[in-house]
Amino acid sequence: MSKIPARNEIDPKYTWNAESVFASPEAWSAEAEKIVADIPSVKAFQGKLASNAASLADAMEAVEKIIQRVEHLNMYAGFSYSVDTADQKAAAMADKAGGIHGQVIAAVSFVQPEMLEIGEQTLRQWLRDETRLTEYEHYVNNLFRNQAHVRSTEVEEILGMLADPFDGSSSTASMLTNADFHFPPAIDSHGKEHDLTQGTFYKIRANSDRVARQNTWNNYLDTYLAHKNTLATNLATSIKQNVFLMRARKHKSTLAASLFENDIKVEVFHNLIDVFKKNLPVWQRYFDIRRKALGVDELYPYDLWAPLTSSNPKLSYQQAVDWICDGLSPMGEDYVNTVRKGALEDRWVDVYPNQGKRNGAFSWGAPGTHPFIMMSFNDDMTGLSTLAHELGHSMHSYLAWQNQPLVYGEYSLFVAEVASNFHQALVRGYLLQNNPDKDLQIAIIEEAMSNFLRYFFIMPTLARFELETHERAEKGEPLTADTMMTLMADLFSEGYGETVKIDRERVGIIWATFGHLFSDYYVYQYATGISGAHALSRRVLDGVPNAVDDYTKFLKAGGSMYPLDALKMAGVDLASPSPVEETFAVMSDYIDRLEKLTA
């Protein structure tokens, strides 16, 4: 891992199946031109939806078709850019796709205002009379629930046109940090240099060499600090855009506006934060156990991912897929075979790191494509866990697309992290039960705690940061690099307590390393998601009757139900703080086991 290959040096069998979406970039360009040319034919339905049920059904078919086409266009360009941010052609394609996406959204923005003008009683009669409209019952229910926040046709068109320019802050931050940032190499205790990129940061941060970890941490964050004002301005602009949209749609706060879309009460957010704050001593106990296990007098943030055993298993990609499939066996043969085929034959996964590949991992696709995964697989338990996680997202998408019409093919962010963490919980349960080796047990629990650290410590801390910065913007208070960094350092200091020593400047800039903050109130859903996942995986592992069927129905539901209702159908109530508290109990058990194993 000391030298990262160029993109063209990666074996094609480990790259995503781009040609299954478009045969070539030229085919993509041709479709882009066709979509732009077809926009007027969709726009022609404007003003005619109230004519009769058949006209409305014709319009909805045309709208869905062009939206699906532009989603394919956008995904292909965005994925191409993500796997090689230095590819200027891919960057241009992504920019062009964003512009066309904005044009399409603006062109179809007349639909909801006109449907509201038709009236609820008439629409419900049309749902009964026209079979092509029957599937829109939940859509219509939600439309009239949103009625107070849907503006006139003219205003909706303007808000639709804002989609592309409002994405500028996120795009600028991504281009700056993924394409333009060049990090100094990390130097280990032997003087050896390791290429530091967005794709290798996590690998080197988990190195057993403490000098390498410290170098990686400092060089990575110092690069962000050198650009703190630009990064802060970008994020502040995004937050102000959220405030503008909140006011344009007449919501009381940005939090309420964000949660309203999925019919989630603000209490769900506050329940999570309250339970998290109450359980900070659990985290601080873990940090102290980790300090003792590492044999250091003081623990620093860059020690939180250090291996606690020198015998961490090395895994090939094939072995990782095999273990994941073994862990998912309770889900049934069809489910497991789909996962295996996607990972090994249909090339759902862009597997290995390369120069220019953006950091992190994600699953992305659209109805009519595979649910593709971008990641940088490292040959360890973290690589296995990340793959299991993203395959959870992909199976959620796959089953939703197989069972729902296009209008419900996209599930909400609130439920997204349930499916991904559910996979990880099942795989961990299998590995812990079937591998008694002490070092492997430690490695499995380490990986679990690393995941909890991200989802149940860092993400709730970022959620507190996000709420505070939005509330300041709503009051007209300034958001600068220094105020953001002070807030971030204060929140992490509270979480770490006396157990972790911090450099306030470097910890203070951590918000800039998370592009998630450009998705309004996304990060808290990682913590609610992992809570739902552990509750549902426990039902499956405990053999609760119908647990697998209930969970599969949840995946197949896609966006056809409000997320809290879909999760209740699966067997968990996330409107209550109980699942969050229960998941802290699961984490505490891991900590107890780790303390005994490392004593």
Q: How far apart are CA 112 and CA 150, in angstroms?
A: 8
Residue owning tokens 């090994």: 344
Distance of alpha carbon 375 from the chain centroid = 13
Q: What are the C-alpha distances in Å from 186 to residues 100, 104, 200, 203, 215?
A: 41, 45, 10, 12, 5
In 3D space, the residue among 587, 518, 535 whose CA is nearest the CA of residue 176 turns out to be 518
* Alpha-helical regions (H) of 307-379: 317-327, 333-344
**Which value, in Å, is the radius of gyration of the alpha carbons in the chain?**
24
Q: How far apart are CA 162 and CA 248, in angstroms?
A: 12
Q: How far apart are CA 206 and CA 355, in angstroms?
A: 20
pLDDT for 1 equals 44
- Which is catalytic among the residues 71, 157, 390, 417? 390
| Cβ-based neighbours of 480, under 8 Å, separated by 6 or more | 229, 232, 236
| Cβ-based neighbours of 462, under 8 Å, separated by 6 or more | 511, 514, 516, 517, 523
Tokens of 556: 């197949």
Q: Provide the 10 A C-beta neighbour count for residue 271.
A: 20
In 3D space, the residue among 483, 446, 504 whose CA is nearest the CA of residue 301 turns out to be 504
Report CA torsion sign: 357, 362, 363, 366.
negative
pLDDT for 167 equals 81
pLDDT for 299 equals 98
pLDDT for 19 equals 97
Q: What is the pLDDT of residues 365-422, one digit of tens each?
A: 999 999 999 999 988 888 999 999 999 999 999 999 999 999 999 999 899 999 999 9
Burial class, 180, CB count within 10 angstroms (exposed 0-12 / middle 13-18 / buried 19+): exposed
Tokens of 331: 């889900």
Residues of the chain with pLDDT under 70: 1-2
Q: How far apart are CA 142 and CA 562, in angstroms?
A: 9
* Alpha-helical regions (H) of 119-253: 120-129, 137-145, 153-161, 163-166, 168-174, 201-205, 210-225, 228-248
Q: Which amino acid is at 213?
A: R
pLDDT for 170 equals 87
Q: Provide the 10 A C-beta neighbour count for residue 246.
A: 23
Domains observed in the chain: 9-166 (1.20.140.70), 198-315+413-599 (1.10.1370.20)
Reported as type and span, the H/E element at residue 592 is helix 578-598
Tokens of 337: 């075979």
Tokens of 157: 């068109």
36 with 94: CB under 8 angstroms? no
In 3D space, the residue among 324, 290, 511, 553 whose CA is nearest the CA of residue 425 turns out to be 324
In 3D space, the residue among 348, 354, 361 whose CA is nearest the CA of residue 86 turns out to be 354
- For residue 390, indicate whether it is catalytic: yes
Instruction: Return the SS3 of 486.
Output: helix
Partners of 193 in the beta sheet?
187
pLDDT for 4 equals 86
Q: What is the pLDDT of residues 525-584, one digit of tens each?
A: 999 999 999 999 999 999 999 999 999 999 999 999 999 999 999 999 999 999 999 999
Report CA torsion sign: 554, 557, 558, 559.
negative
pLDDT for 312 equals 76
pTM of the model: 0.84
Q: What are the C-alpha distances in Å from 420 to residues 78, 244, 362, 386, 487?
A: 22, 32, 10, 9, 30
Tokens of 420: 């991904």
Between helices 137-145 and 120-129, what is the axis angle to 10°?
170
